[in-house]
Structure 1
Amino acid sequence: MTAPRIPTTKRALNVEQQIDRLRDRGMLIADGAQAAHALLHLNYYRLRGYWFVFESGPDQFAAGTTFEAVLALYDFDRRLRVEVMDAIERFEVSLRTHWAYVLAHLAGPSAYRDASLFTDNHERLLAGVERLYAERKEPYLLRYLDRNEEPPIWALCESMMLGDLSKWLSSIRRHPHRQRIADAYDLHETPFCSFVRHINYVRNVCAHHGRLWDRPLLINQLDFPARPAGLVAQLQPDPSQNRRVYNTLVLLAYVMRRTSPDSLWSARVADLLASRPDLWARMGVPQGWQKFELWQEKGA
């Protein structure tokens, strides 16, 4: 049994006390009303994750640190999450489609029931499907369930979250079958499965409005074989930096070229990065990144 936790000694501060504390620690706050509004709506503790980069020591801000600079960093991160979620949404829908399409043509509309296609994790995955059916939330599934008919895989996939898809993809028994799905993105199936797991992690960070811009992420240098040509050259190679968000942006830009070739996503992200060169080091952005092909505008 877990021992009871010791109550925190921290005390709740009202907004005026929070502002006084920030000023006592050296933060310049020209507009107290703006600061009060931000603290009331954004949470002191949440914003603390953004102002810590301005600290020169424990409980002390570097000279010249302003509350406006903290809010500007917060807004940059929010805009970054919006762009990342846009790319992940397109990839998630695309992956659903290719997963269902490939398996349906391998084993028919109920391919997800075919144990021969999957590893020993199959029963656990099917239990998740049955829970989904029992919830009876989606009209496009009810049209089958109300007739006591098995929903086809192309209907089921529309209810799957990216985390579910990642597990189903990794559980496909035969490498050639996984490769047929990865072929849609011109990636080798082994790093592709790792990529999907990583993107699901990033999606969850964004969906819960977590700090993204300088977060150490799961991904290390993915082991890409010969394909796709040129992608690895555009990733940050420094082992101390390759878990930063920049490499995730490169991989999303690459995937967006395949899912949404007319999108201006890469150009928007490039503009966003260019607006804050002071953040590049903590984001893992390499020197000369603007010259890389993936950041050249191709959309319309």
Structure 2
Amino acid sequence: MASKKPNAKAATVKAQKVTYIYTKLALPYAQTLLRLWDKGLMIDNRPDAENALKTIGYFRLLIYMRHFQSNTAPRNFYPRSKFSSIVALYNFDREIRLLTLNAIEKLEVALRTAIINPLAELHTPHWYLDMSHFDDEIKYHGVIGKIIQGAGKEGHTKRGLAMIHYYDKYHSPVLPPIWLVCEKLSFGVLSRFFEALRIDRRRIVGRYIWSYPEHLLVSWFHSLANLRNICAHQDRLWNNPITGFPPATHKTYSIDFTNPTSFYSRAVVIQLLMRELGLNGWWRDSLLALLASCAHVDPRKHLGFPGGWNTRPVWT
């Protein structure tokens, strides 16, 4: 059977994709507000609106404006839409990012301590220099490379008094003890450090604080490190699927992991990890209060929270 010949016409159309010259201009605040007014947006407090455009920016607010606009050209605003409502929605997204960062910071500190204490007590403060504690050579050298980058002697005078003290006083070992090293590693690197350990070492580290299987902890720490970066770089949590590093499902709470791209599934991971830090009630109550604080937020549609989520077993 002869192979089908390529569609020359389709190939030509693809090759001749039409592009345009960008001609949009940056406008002063007053003109921007006038354009929004012409599209039906109520400018209910002009000084506050101008200050928001000045300090937040039109482009950053634009994605929140879409919630109040028609999907069809010319994208007029729905009746009674207010500029203050757009800012309120933006502020909600900002507050949930800050709350999430606050929670992840607590978990990051706990993971750092779990990597430091038990293996240093069982072995030495420089146990990480022994490759036998790691899963394979490639992962080991990857970890050591990050450690040298964050805690190596070169540039140590810019890394704090503790690092200066170590390199000024000691010539061996060539790198500082694990507690000083871990203080210089990001959450993302810590999560990869944890994954790189031999499985029996991961179990020792994980069980120092948590009761979950090590494979779940590997997945959850990667997922939260990705979430932390989203929050730290002011990306959206509101109405924005999270496609990177979906958290592995806990069998007991499988119903809470049915939407792996949702913020909710990651909020559940935080809740499960917080439980054994004694902070699960703080996280649940903070979310409840925040979700109720903005009338323009639909927790189910915009963040993946199911109805009655706070009464489910994972949250009690």
Q: TM-score per shorter chain, which class?
A: 0.7 to 0.9
**Of the candidates 185, 201, 204, which is equivalent to residue 210 of structure 2?**
185
Cα separation, 2, equivalents of 1:185 and 1:49: 39
The answer to whether the Cα contact below 8 Å between 2:107 and 2:274 also exists between their aligned partners in 1 is: yes
2:224 is the counterpart of 1:224: no
What's the C-alpha RMSD, in Å, of the aligned pairs? 2.3
Cα separation, 2, equivalents of 1:214 and 1:106: 46
Q: What code does the residue aligned with 1:181 have?
A: V
1:167-197 per-residue CA deviation (whole Å, 9 max, x = no partner) reads: 111111x222212222222221112111111
Distance 1:242 1:64, change over 3 A: farther
Superposed, 1:49-198 pairs within 5 Å as 49-57=63-71, 58=73, 59-118=75-134, 119=136, 120-132=138-150, 133=152, 134-136=154-156, 137-147=159-169, 148-150=171-173, 151-172=176-197, 174-183=198-207, 184-198=209-223
1:31 is matched with 45
Distance 1:128 1:81, change over 3 A: same
2:233 is the counterpart of 1:208: yes
TM-score normalised by L of structure 2: 0.82
The answer to whether the Cα contact below 8 Å between 1:242 and 1:284 also exists between their aligned partners in 2 is: no
Cα separation, 2, equivalents of 1:295 and 1:275: 20
1:252 is matched with 270
Cα separation, 2, equivalents of 1:116 and 1:264: 40
Q: Counterpart of 2:70 in 1: which secondary structure? A: strand
Larger deviation: 176-185 or 196-205? 176-185
Cα separation, 1, equivalents of 2:94 and 2:124: 42
2:8 is matched with none
Gaps (5+ residues) in structure 1?
Answer: none
Q: What code does the residue aligned with 2:140 have?
A: H
Larger deviation: 12-21 or 251-260? 251-260
Q: Percent same amino acid at aligned positions?
A: 29
Larger deviation: 86-95 or 278-287? 278-287
The answer to whether the Cα contact below 8 Å between 1:244 and 1:284 also exists between their aligned partners in 2 is: yes
Cα separation, 1, equivalents of 2:193 and 2:260: 27
- How far the C-alpha of 1:90 sits from its partner, in A, is 0.5
Cα separation, 1, equivalents of 2:128 and 2:25: 53
2:310 is the counterpart of 1:290: yes
Larger deviation: 67-76 or 127-136? 127-136
1:226-275 per-residue CA deviation (whole Å, 9 max, x = no partner) reads: xxxx4434x152xxx43111121122122222224486232121121233
Q: Across the two proteins, how many residue pairs are aligned to each other? A: 283
Q: What code does the residue aligned with 2:160 have?
A: E
- How far the C-alpha of 1:55 sits from its partner, in A, is 2.0
- How far the C-alpha of 1:106 sits from its partner, in A, is 4.5
Cα separation, 2, equivalents of 1:75 and 1:105: 45
The answer to whether the Cα contact below 8 Å between 2:89 and 2:294 also exists between their aligned partners in 1 is: no
Task: Pick the structure with greater CA Rg.
Answer: 2
Q: What code does the residue aligned with 2:262 have?
A: R
Q: What code does the residue aligned with 1:188 have?
A: P
